[in-house]
Amino acid sequence: MTSKWTYSFGGGDADGSAQMRNLLGGKGANLHEMSRIGLTVPPGFTITTEVCTHFTETEGDYPDGLNDQVGTAIAKLETIMGAPFGGGQTESKILLLSVRSGARASMPGMMDTVLNLGLNDEAVEILAAETGDERFAYDSYRRFIQMFGDVVLGVDHYHFEDLLEDYKLDHSLKLDTDLTADDWKTLIPDFIEVIENQTGQPFPQDPRQQLWASIGAVFKSWTNKRAETYRRLHGIPASWGTAVNVQAMVFGNMGEDSATGVCFTRNPSTGDNHFYGEYLINAQGEDVVAGIRTPQPLSLAEKENGNLSMPSLEEVMPSLYTELDGVRHTLEQHYKDMQDLEFTIQKGKLWILQTRNGKRTTKAALKIAVDMVDEGLIDRNEAIRRVEPGHLDQLLHPTLDPDAPRDVLSTGLPASPGAASGKLVFSAEDAENWASRGEDVVLARVETSPEDIGGMHVAKGILTTRGGMTSHAAVVARGMGTPCVSGAGDITVDVKAKTLSAMGKTLKEGDVITLDGSTGEVMDGTVATIEPELSGDFATLMEWVDGVRDMAVRANAETPEDAKVARGFGAQGIGLARTEHMFFDADRIIHMREMILAQDVDARRAALGKLLPYQRQDFVDLLSIMEGLPVTIRLLDPPLHEFLPEKKADVEKIAVALGVGVEDVERRAKELHEFNPMLGHRGCRLAITYPEIYEMQARAIFEAAADLAEAGKDVQPEVMIPLVADVEELFRLKDLVVKIADLVLSERGVDVTYSVGTMIELPRAALQAGEIAKEAEFFSFGTNDLTQTTYGLSRDDAGRFLQIYREKGVLEDDPFVTIDQDGVGELVKIGTERGRATRPGMKIGICGEHGGDPASVTFCHKVGLDYVSCSPYRVPIARLAAAQAALGVDAETNA
């Protein structure tokens, strides 16, 4: 039995629905749904994602039965529109088509589109007679030739642009709209000749040949470089494929009573419940989103708020604006989410071309979610599901200080909020190259295109001199959470010369500029920033989040500053305080080096005694800030050579300061040298060799705890022994810690509740977790080192090739960013099960960087961990991810 490959919609009916997005793609499913609920949608049909999968796997073949089903769908379309597709000279009407992609996840601008399909040398004359507008017909034909040549036949668009620009120059014409029908008639044969010269084949005059070539081009675009890059950045599987939507063309460029536009049912930057969008009179859709013409505001309120001079749609076409506003409310009530619409007005009739859940800033996502709960559209759990945890980063970092001096070069459109400073670069390739060297860059372009996606991803900010709030740059930047200023028309960007000019100044590549994506300001130099304040909608959502999640979130912090930030962000304690970071201060490192250079245990103890007061104060600070919450303190972990200098001049300074010979320092460094220090003399192995190090640290911890307990404070220290591979290591070192604790607390006459546990960061430790749990009172999985030791990878070196692995599909994710559930995750699962089998109810968490990765947090929830610990600024991300995990949300698809 032949499968169903095509699904028709239009004329008040539809074969599909919104629930079929996996088969019909997001765009197709919504077109079917809008037809079902009675909106005026240009009729058409959807070719399913399964055809794309077949097409890709067979390298260009179509499944059996597709040709007949497409023929039937076109016949149905001809009946609805009352016009033939590919008619001859005897026809008085003509049916033209658009061919667009539509994956289940929105990928704006990443795949290909063909418009005005069906035009040829005969059809253009029928279209001119039917519309009574010869200029429109021939303009549409040249647009089709140009788009078909570029998208389908691979002829670079500059060939057409050069012809057009030369013609305008020769005839003293400035704008495309200045060209008459006769001008286009003159140019069209030249356009066709370009295609024939570049391809060696005649331009296809058969509309059905055009259609099949265009369908194939859209399917091929699923695997183009920009689409693959976008999928990798957004975690979209290649196996999903794209659908193809074939629709009857409607035209916004048929005169002053026609228009096209893009709009959002709420403001996508702020979340305010106001109709928001842009339109152009006498234009086609690509004119709005491509940024070639600066569009006009949709509403009068937008015009007034933006202090814009161009008339709004509400003023120019008030009845159609009212009709569009009604569609806005219908769609929001139906989908119960903010919608992103595309519309066309053809000769005074409104057509809805597309709707989808609108991309939005995190600030807007929070406001929309909270407001929709207040409006009764959704419940609190749905509001929690709506906000992507990773996007909270947009709210958790500094913004420009409003009182800081600034040298404003220009003000464009505030396309994507946030602040960014960086060195100017003028191409996506340069952005990627500079960023790979650790430079912060701002990408400046006249306008961006989908080919720029790689550079846009690494840029700290994006600036364009053309385009509006719904241009490619604006939409992609908002989706990435990258600050963006678009339409900065007072700025001149010369991409070839790599310069930016404004206000009489010329900046060159490498000069620093600052963008304020919330105001649209572009500034020379670096502008000071301030820390964010989280309140209002954020606080409301986080309160709901904390009422849902059942996994705690702690922070990795060892400085008072980090601990305060973490507690402010809602951390429920410290899951990892790395004590080695405390020794690098200038006042302390000298004593650490004295200890390392010491020749005997007494000398080592003397040096450690000088460090004791510093360590004690460190722990007083952390325990005080985290009063009433647990603080997990990892005893010294790295190998000792890391504390010794490498440069000759520094070695000489240390020798003088400690009163030893240079040769003594060099000899000790040579003794400590290891070929693979990550697997060498570090962690608990150091303490087995030099127990006095952990004795000093344990004394500092419990003296600090005793000081605070005497002051009536609730302190909860947890002492963590790192890099344990065998229970005997932990037995010996736990005994050391407990003896020091008992001695100090007995001397001080106070009671402090404490525990001693270990990091599980070696595969053997995970496998021996049952034995180790006989001594350990808690486990914390150190997934950074556990990933290294499981894969046999150094995370400091693997970056050189992991990206290649991802691009070639060897690995789907970087295992140092998202936990490898099949390998590392299996060890976590085994360690948890075996540990709790020995010690029921054992407290277990993770403290690697994975603790702030939403997908990894979901995994930790499934395994049954008690907490995750992450960097302070990722605490809110982990809180939200933990709540979504409790609600059953898949962190990879946010569904």
List, by residue number, the catalytic residues: 472, 847
Q: What are phi and psi of 697, to 5 degrees?
A: -65, -40
Tokens coding 862: 């499934």
Q: Which of 611, 769, 604, 614 is nearest to 689 (CA)?
A: 604
Are 420 and 482 in contact, with CB atoms under 8 Å apart?
yes
**Amino acid in position 727:** V
**What is the rounded CA–CA span in Å between residue 626 and residue 715?**
8
CA 195 to chain CA mean position, Å: 38
**What is the rounded CA–CA span in Å between residue 871 and residue 481?**
19
- Full strand arrangement of the beta sheet holding 276-281: 296-297, 276-281, 259-264, 339-346, 349-357
**What is the rounded CA–CA span in Å between residue 151 and residue 133?**
27
Q: Which of 410, 415, 516, 521 is nearest to 468 (CA)?
A: 415
Cβ atoms within 10 Å of 453's Cβ, excluding its own: 24
Tokens coding 303: 């015009």
Contacts of 716 (CB under 8 A, 6+ apart): 573, 628, 629, 630, 631, 753, 754
Q: Which of 353, 131, 112 is nearest to 221 (CA)?
A: 112
Tokens coding 539: 């606080």
The DSSP string of 834-858 is HHHHHSTT-EEEE-SGGGG-HHHHH
How would you classify residue 65: left for phi > 0, otherwise alpha for psi between -120 and 50, otherwise beta?
left
The DSSP string of 791-834 is HT--TTTTHHHHHHHHHTTS-SS-TTTS--TTTHHHHHHHHHHH
Long-range contacts of 810-813 (CB under 8 A, 24+ apart): 813/235, 813/855
Tokens coding 42: 């240009």
R_g of the chain, CA atoms, integer Å: 32
Are 359 and 380 in contact, with CB atoms under 8 Å apart?
no
The torsion of the CA quartet 831, 837, 838, 844, rounded to 10 degrees, works out to: 50
Q: How open is the CA angle 203-208-210, to the nearest 5 degrees?
A: 35
Tokens coding 9: 């919609």
Tokens coding 828: 């976590």
Q: Which of 627, 642, 502, 488 is nearest to 571 (CA)?
A: 627
Tokens coding 82: 């009352």
Tokens coding 168: 């305008």
Cβ atoms within 10 Å of 806's Cβ, excluding its own: 14
Are 731 and 694 in contact, with CB atoms under 8 Å apart?
no
**What is the rounded CA–CA span in Å between residue 201 and residue 764?**
65
Paired residues of 760 in beta bridges: 781
Tokens coding 202: 């005649």
Tokens coding 810: 């060897």
Q: How open is the CA angle 529-530-531, to the nearest 5 degrees?
A: 130
